[in-house]
Structure 1
Amino acid sequence: MEASVTARPKPTSSQATKSSIVPMLIIGGLFFMFGFVTWLNGSLIPFLQIACELDHIEAYFVTLVFYIAYTVTALPMAAVLKRTGYKNGLVLGLIVMAVGALIFIPAAQTKIYGIFLTALFILGTGLTILQTAANPYIVLIGPRETAAVRISMMGILNKSAGIIAPLVFTAYVLTDMSQFNEARLASLEVGQRMIELQELSSRLITPYLIMAVMLIVLAIAIKASPLPEPTTDYEQEGTEHDNKKSILQFPQLILGVITLFFYIGAEVVAGDTIGLYGKQLGVTNFGELTAYTMAFMVSAYIIGMIVIPRWIRQETALVISALLGLLFSLLIITTSSSSTDIWDSLFAWTGVNAIPNTVLFVALLGFANALVWPAIWPMALKNLGKHTASGSALLIMGISGGAIFPLIYGVLSEGSGNAQTSYWIMLPCYGFILFYALKGHKIKHWPTRK
């Protein structure tokens, strides 16, 4: 919602802390839920590739339609939020997501890929409403200098769901997948192959029905909760940007949107291609690999909560994240696709299945990615005042990078026949993040012609 022009005193630190606990718990539950829905895609891509008999390019249409919803619906959803308020907007988003989950039932029954994509687009639309409302809520609900810490807390819940979702999906949907290998399916008669693939597709019905029920229950709980409306009134008092009439006049915001575009592209490539990449390399538990990426993200979030802003600024954390992203991307391309010696040396004590070195570095991108999102939001929304809601919607549109980059990766992988070297597309992503961290967020005015 847009802020009113009435001045309001800043709350004291103790008042802000007390008043923000309940809203943070509620929003935290939401971040867990839409993290669960989002990071199912990493397991869903190789599953649908088998069930619907897709090539690499077709398989990555899962991420295309899911994330393109953010671009198509972000600004309309911001207009909806101005009318409904943040709380009712959250309820609406959950209901829309429930509708998307229910559409998975006829999709699984008919095994028509287009219906699956429709369901994913509707799920993405519901998540757009939630993201547009929830992210600025976390920024505005307390002091701006600790915004990255609050967003990191939400990120832990979101990515913890990303660890759990692939494991649950693997346990209840991807069991006994050896019978669905390409060689065996190709040897079957057409009728028998269709019967077995239909049985496989039908495994999605119960999980998505349960998901729809949970989303509806959560919507009812949010509606009945004491969740207050955040205010941006005090942010616009006496700022040097009071005379700016358009969000396009804020370079740090526009460059932040571009940075998020590259970042979400890199994050989704790391989380959603690792399963199919691992499957190509013969990793037996390929459906669980997204959980590896999310586990590294959670560990980085925890570190971020400890050190930001106590020892390092969020701007410094963003520089470190970009440099790690560049390093890990280069290692993905150059390290062994068969040897597991790095995992055996560093992580054998965990008892978790070992993965090839190159796949490990895809998972480690999760560590590099974790602190990018929480750092960019407060940097991009700084001093937007009454433009905060619109600025948030514009940032949400940057999530469309998650639609574009996995598809580009799929095209490169399919065209070259080399999935490993196709990860070079990550390098420009982290390069732009580094630019924003060092310079882009400091730009307050667009250059003018003399």
Structure 2
Amino acid sequence: MNNKINKLALASVMLCFFAMGFVDLVGIASNYVKSDLGLNDATANIFPSLVFFWFLIFSVPTGVLMNKIGRKKTVLLSLVVTVVSLLLPLFGESFGLMLVSFSLLGIGNALMQTSLNPLVATVVRGGHLASTLTFGQFVKAIASFMAPYIAAWGATQAIPSFGLGWRVLFPIYMIVGIAASLFLLSTPIEEEGPAFAGETSPTVGKQFAACFRLLGKPIVLLSFIGIMCHVGIDVGTNTTAPKILMERLGMTLNDAAFATSLYFIFRTLGCLTGSFFLRVVNNRLFFVISITMMALSMCGLFFGTTKLVLYIAIALVGYGNSNVFSLVFAQALQSVPDKQNEVSGLMIMGLFGGTVFPLIMGFASDAMGQAGAVLVMAVGVAYLFTYIKNVK
């Protein structure tokens, strides 16, 4: 019976990982909003930056919230916020409305990423945490690479009565989000209880202070920066790859949208194979191979002028970056086992890198073309090389 419950719990959690992938629609969506509203790169990049800005604000409070209401209830709250964010674009695509929608999408995702990863540690008791998190990232990536296809289909072939165009993406994902909410709500998951971190401190203020003090531990701080770089490269590639194809090959946006899908196809492939390799291959060796692939990708994206070279470069960064989050997150989570909620909040706060990188990349690309954006991502890859020594 327990085995059945565990499998059911794992299935419900994995559907939540699929809902977590909705946040990656912001890359292709920002390109369509840019085209529809006639925005420049710096302004259009506000959208992905805004989504990930909320990770800075909400991640640590979510870690404290989990101590009060538990992990499952926090994930359910995140799903409700996500569903509301996907509802708003059905009423139009004005600049203000899309800002509110993307903000709620970011807030929901901050809540979800902070609470869902520790919930996996609750469901998967024992070893294989990194490989299970990687499999979750594989499920998340399925939603990520489907988004550009659905948006392109909506822009060119959507049923006219919908009147949504590329925005048909939002109601489709909203229905899945509702299903994920109902599935998780009806699935029994045993937690230690809302007071499992009660010994941290009696007041919220002291819990915040104790949480941020964890950054004093070198492995936690270095992992935090590593997550910032991983997400910056992820969001940066998601947003910039189509622009590179349009700039150098003269593609239309609908054709160039394939670049985002290609990235997520290889990221999905990387997560799927990574969940196996992380069980049988030395984690540090696999991390070195991944970062080397990303470095080669940066060279291809910077110098490449043919479709073949650019597609190979996009595939390399997709595969290389696919397991970085799981490896870094697992290192941090296991380094302070008695403060997993707090560490999770700090690590997810590192997703703020998804705000920092696109903003800087937007200014760099306006100044010197998309090669400038690639240089910004290359800085993140360089840092990840320095993190290798921390992977056990």
- TM-score range (shorter-chain normalised) is 0.7 to 0.9
Cα distance, 1:92 vs structure 2: 0.7
Cα distance, 1:360 vs structure 2: 3.6
Task: Indicate whether 1:70 and 2:35 are aligned.
Answer: no
Summarize the Cα distance change of 1:217–1:308 in structure 2 as closer, same or farther, 3 Å threshold.
closer
Encode CA deviations 1:320-375: one digit per residue, 9 max, x unaligned.
Answer: 2122211211222122x2x33xx3xxxxxxxxxxxxx2354134210110110111
Q: How does 1:44-443 map to 2 (within 5 A)?
A: 44-106=29-91, 108=92, 111-142=93-124, 145-175=127-157, 202-203=164-165, 206-229=168-191, 246-280=213-247, 281-284=249-252, 285-310=255-280, 312-335=281-304, 337=305, 339-340=306-307, 343=308, 357-416=309-368, 418-438=369-389, 440=390
In 1: Cα distance, 2:294 partner to 2:131 partner: 21
Summarize the Cα distance change of 1:313–1:49 in structure 2 as closer, same or farther, 3 Å threshold.
same
- What is the letter of the counterpart of residue 322 of structure 1? I
Summarize the Cα distance change of 1:254–1:164 in structure 2 as closer, same or farther, 3 Å threshold.
same
Unaligned runs of 5+ in 1: 1-13, 177-198, 237-243, 344-356, 443-450
In 1: Cα distance, 2:102 partner to 2:119 partner: 25
In 2: Cα distance, 1:43 partner to 1:313 partner: 35
Summarize the Cα distance change of 1:289–1:277 in structure 2 as closer, same or farther, 3 Å threshold.
same
Cα distance, 1:143 vs structure 2: 5.8
In 2: Cα distance, 1:291 partner to 1:113 partner: 25
Cα distance, 1:156 vs structure 2: 1.2
Q: TM-score, normalised by structure 1?
A: 0.76
Q: Residue 79 of structure 1 aligns to a residue in which SS? A: helix
* Residues 62 and 115 in structure 2, CA contact (< 8 A), matched pair in contact too: no
* Residues 5 and 188 in structure 2, CA contact (< 8 A), matched pair in contact too: no
Summarize the Cα distance change of 1:215–1:301 in structure 2 as closer, same or farther, 3 Å threshold.
closer
Give percent identity, aligned residues only: 20
- What is the letter of the counterpart of residue 290 of structure 1? T
Cα distance, 1:255 vs structure 2: 1.0
Encode CA deviations 1:135-158: one digit per residue, 9 max, x unaligned.
Answer: 122245436652221112111111
Summarize the Cα distance change of 1:277–1:222 in structure 2 as closer, same or farther, 3 Å threshold.
same
Cα distance, 1:230 vs structure 2: 6.1
Summarize the Cα distance change of 1:40–1:136 in structure 2 as closer, same or farther, 3 Å threshold.
same
In 2: Cα distance, 1:410 partner to 1:174 partner: 27
In 2: Cα distance, 1:430 partner to 1:205 partner: 33
- What is the letter of the counterpart of residue 406 of structure 1? P
- What is the letter of the counterpart of residue 307 of structure 1? F
Summarize the Cα distance change of 1:363–1:331 in structure 2 as closer, same or farther, 3 Å threshold.
same
Which residue matches 1:241?
none
Encode CA deviations 1:241-276: one digit per residue, 9 max, x unaligned.
Answer: xxx994234221111011101111011111222123
In 1: Cα distance, 2:216 partner to 2:230 partner: 22
Encode CA deviations 1:252-302: one digit per residue, 9 max, x unaligned.
Answer: 111101110111101111122212332333234122321100111122223
In 2: Cα distance, 1:423 partner to 1:167 partner: 24
* Residues 27 and 134 in structure 1, CA contact (< 8 A), matched pair in contact too: yes
* Residues 18 and 141 in structure 2, CA contact (< 8 A), matched pair in contact too: yes
* Residues 19 and 180 in structure 2, CA contact (< 8 A), matched pair in contact too: no
Task: Indicate whether 1:31 and 2:12 are aligned.
Answer: no
In 2: Cα distance, 1:393 partner to 1:403 partner: 17
- What is the letter of the counterpart of residue 251 of structure 2? V
* Residues 160 and 298 in structure 1, CA contact (< 8 A), matched pair in contact too: yes
Summarize the Cα distance change of 1:230–1:131 in structure 2 as closer, same or farther, 3 Å threshold.
farther
Summarize the Cα distance change of 1:422–1:363 in structure 2 as closer, same or farther, 3 Å threshold.
same
In 1: Cα distance, 2:116 partner to 2:7 partner: 15
Cα distance, 1:53 vs structure 2: 1.1
In 2: Cα distance, 1:173 partner to 1:135 partner: 34
Summarize the Cα distance change of 1:132–1:413 in structure 2 as closer, same or farther, 3 Å threshold.
same
- What is the letter of the counterpart of residue 266 of structure 1? I
Q: Which moved more, 1:208-217 or 1:386-395?
A: 208-217
- What value does the CA root-mean-square deviation take over the aligned residues? 2.7
Q: Residue 229 of structure 1 aligns to a residue in which SS? A: coil
In 1: Cα distance, 2:117 partner to 2:293 partner: 25
In 2: Cα distance, 1:43 partner to 1:175 partner: 17
Higher helix share: 2
- What is the letter of the counterpart of residue 410 of structure 1? G
Cα distance, 1:87 vs structure 2: 1.2
- What is the letter of the counterpart of residue 299 of structure 1? L
Cα distance, 1:175 vs structure 2: 4.7
Q: Which moved more, 1:366-375 or 1:376-385?
A: 376-385
- What is the letter of the counterpart of residue 270 of structure 2? A
Q: Residue 316 of structure 2 aligns to a residue in which SS? A: helix
In 2: Cα distance, 1:383 partner to 1:419 partner: 38
* Residues 58 and 107 in structure 2, CA contact (< 8 A), matched pair in contact too: yes
